[in-house]
């Protein structure tokens, strides 16, 4: 019975696969202006490759069907309603709305099932990605430079307008970080200014306000809430008319500053006459952040500054699917948690980490079994009973430092869900500390 089902399933898959293969390269071929022999061979290659893939495909999808909800599997296996694509090229702008509803009408999504894992390509980490991109020359560097120079001519105008009570917001494709940085260097060298890297994942409103109160106003003390702090800042700026502050915010629309409350406070801050705000936005929906009230507080002048520069800094913190987790964040959290634990607990964790690193070349390493682990800990005089070890492990588990898995034989296996390089870094650091 099961076999039969499998057969049907694979048949369906085959259909789908063929369907897909026949579409993608076709579309590509049509799109390219001049067909060349290289391309032909390319598409053929992908077709044959998919035949070979069949075996793997089956395996993957059975695993999938085991994990996923039945509805989803059904959705993936039903034959596709072929539509949208052909139409779209013809009259692009015609029925945008209809297209939208067509695409969202059913819960079925039609895409191929290929995964990156099978691509025979290692996931790049942040560093190698950076190095690789350095090798690739930036296209149209001359034109981009020209474009940027056009924007740079606006600097003096920006200064004037900032002083007349407007605030400036920059939009358009391309990173505006360098442009703002140039503006800062050429115009703001001698004035008090604050640069906020909005794209930084751990930036908070409070840290912005703190740097104003502490560094600009030299105030020592804490505030109960951001509105209180804001009130204090506004009061100080009103009292002392000689105070002036330029605030540069890269990505005012970033994940962390997007919230209604942060925007409200930033808007109020920007409406202080001697605080000059110049900010950049990138997200297509960024203008939706502001309602009439906030807009009037911000008093924006919009400037289109399309730069076409790559968003190097801005995207480096993104958790992209394609980039391997850089691990630097994981590493710091790991050390932070362990710092707060007892010496013995740290020792226990080290043992586990070392064992895991020793076995890193073993692809079927299941983890360290509890019994073995207890034995090792006892030998190192770290625990005296298996109860203390269990208590310790519970604490680790609460901090998500370890994961337990029950093997086929019912034995508990322990794993640290961090990649090996991070773990190695961590151990190195620990050694330095000791």
Q: Least separation, in Å, of the C-beta of 415 and other proteins?
A: 21
Which 359-378 positions form the footprint of other proteins (CB under 8 A)?
Answer: none
| Closest alpha carbon to 196 in 184, 56, 274 | 184
- Determine if 408 is a binding residue for other proteins (CB under 8 A): no
What x/- string results for residues 14 through 53 when contact with other proteins is judged by CB under 8 A?
------x---xx-xx--xxxx-xxxx--x---x-------
Which 307-326 positions form the footprint of other proteins (CB under 8 A)?
Answer: 308, 310-311, 314-315, 318-323
> By C-beta, is 100 or 407 nearer to other proteins?
100
Residue 13 and residue 107: Cα distance in Å, rounded?
19
Helix or strand holding residue 196 (H, E):
strand 193-197
Strands 412-415 vs 368-369: parallel, antiparallel or unpaired: antiparallel
> By C-beta, is 153 or 339 nearer to other proteins?
153
> By C-beta, is 288 or 408 nearer to other proteins?
288
Q: Least separation, in Å, of the C-beta of 76 and other proteins?
A: 8
Residue selected from 55, 56, 146, 240 as contacting other proteins according to rule CB under 8 A: 146
What x/- string results for residues 202 through 241 when contact with other proteins is judged by CB under 8 A?
-------------------------x--------------
Residue 134 and residue 392: Cα distance in Å, rounded?
46
Residue 19 and residue 367: Cα distance in Å, rounded?
42
- Determine if 303 is a binding residue for other proteins (CB under 8 A): yes
Angle subtended at Cα 245 by Cα 242 and Cα 247, rounded to the nearest 5 degrees:
170
Q: Least separation, in Å, of the C-beta of 304 and other proteins?
A: 5
Q: Give Rg (Cα) of the chain.
A: 29
Q: What is the DSSP letter of 117?
A: G
| Structure-block tokens of residue 263 | 């925007």
Which 75-114 positions form the footprint of other proteins (CB under 8 A)?
Answer: 76, 84-85, 88-89, 92-93, 96-97, 99-100, 103-104, 109-114
Q: Least separation, in Å, of the C-beta of 342 and other proteins?
A: 37
Residue 172 and residue 306: Cα distance in Å, rounded?
4
Contact status, residue 154 vs residue 303, Cβ threshold 8 Å: yes
Give the residues across from 403 on adjacent strands.
415
Phi, psi of 247 (to 5 degrees): -115, 120
Q: Least separation, in Å, of the C-beta of 422 and other proteins?
A: 20
> By C-beta, is 14 or 161 nearer to other proteins?
161
Q: Least separation, in Å, of the C-beta of 114 and other proteins?
A: 4
Which 124-143 positions form the footprint of other proteins (CB under 8 A)?
Answer: 124, 129, 132-133, 135-136, 139-140, 143
Residue 289 and residue 258: Cα distance in Å, rounded?
7
């Amino acid at each position: 019975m099961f076999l039969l089902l499998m057969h049907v399933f694979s048949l369906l898959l085959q259909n789908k696969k063929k369907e897909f293969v026949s579409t993608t390269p076709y579309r590509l071929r049509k799109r390219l202006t001049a067909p060349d022999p290289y391309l032909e061979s390319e598409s053929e290659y992908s077709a044959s490759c998919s035949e070979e893939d069949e075996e793997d495909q089956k395996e993957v999808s059975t695993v999938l069907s085991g994990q996923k909800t039945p509805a989803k599997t059904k959705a993936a296996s039903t034959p596709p309603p072929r539509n949208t694509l052909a139409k779209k090229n013809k009259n692009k702008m015609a029925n945008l709305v209809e297209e939208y509803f067509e695409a969202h009408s059913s819960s079925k999504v039609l895409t191929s099932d290929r995964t990156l894992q099978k691509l025979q390509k290692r996931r790049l980490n942040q560093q190698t990605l950076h190095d690789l991109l350095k090798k690739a020359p930036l296209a149209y560097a001359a034109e981009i430079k020209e474009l940027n120079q056009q924007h740079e001519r606006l600097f003096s105008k920006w200064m004037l307008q900032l002083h007349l009570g407007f605030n400036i917001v920059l939009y358009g494709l391309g990173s505006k970080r360098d442009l703002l940085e140039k503006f800062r260097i050429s115009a703001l060298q001698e004035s008090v200014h604050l640069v906020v890297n909005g794209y930084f994942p751990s930036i908070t409103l409070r840290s912005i306000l703190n740097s104003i109160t502490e560094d600009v106003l030299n105030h020592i003390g804490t505030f109960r809430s951001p509105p209180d702090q804001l009130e204090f800042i506004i009061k100080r700026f009103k009292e002392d008319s000689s105070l002036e502050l330029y605030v540069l915010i890269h990505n005012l629309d970033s994940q962390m500053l997007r919230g209604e409350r942060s925007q409200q406070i930033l808007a109020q801050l920007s409406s202080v006459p001697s605080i000059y705000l110049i900010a950049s936005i990138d997200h297509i929906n960024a203008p939706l952040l502001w309602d009439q009230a906030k807009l009037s507080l911000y008093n924006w002048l919009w400037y289109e500054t399309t730069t076409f520069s790559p968003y190097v800094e801005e995207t480096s913190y993104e958790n992209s699917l394609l980039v391997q987790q850089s691990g630097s964040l994981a590493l710091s959290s790991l050390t932070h948690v362990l710092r707060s634990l007892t010496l013995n607990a740290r020792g226990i964790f080290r043992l586990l980490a070392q064992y895991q690193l020793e076995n890193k070349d073993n692809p079927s390493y299941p983890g360290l079994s509890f019994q073995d682990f207890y034995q090792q800990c006892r030998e190192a005089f770290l625990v005296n009973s298996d109860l203390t070890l269990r208590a310790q492990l519970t604490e680790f588990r609460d901090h998500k430092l370890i994961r337990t898995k029950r093997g086929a034989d019912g034995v508990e296996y322990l794993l640290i869900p961090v990649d090996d390089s991070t773990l190695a870094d961590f151990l190195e650091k620990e050694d330095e500390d000791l």
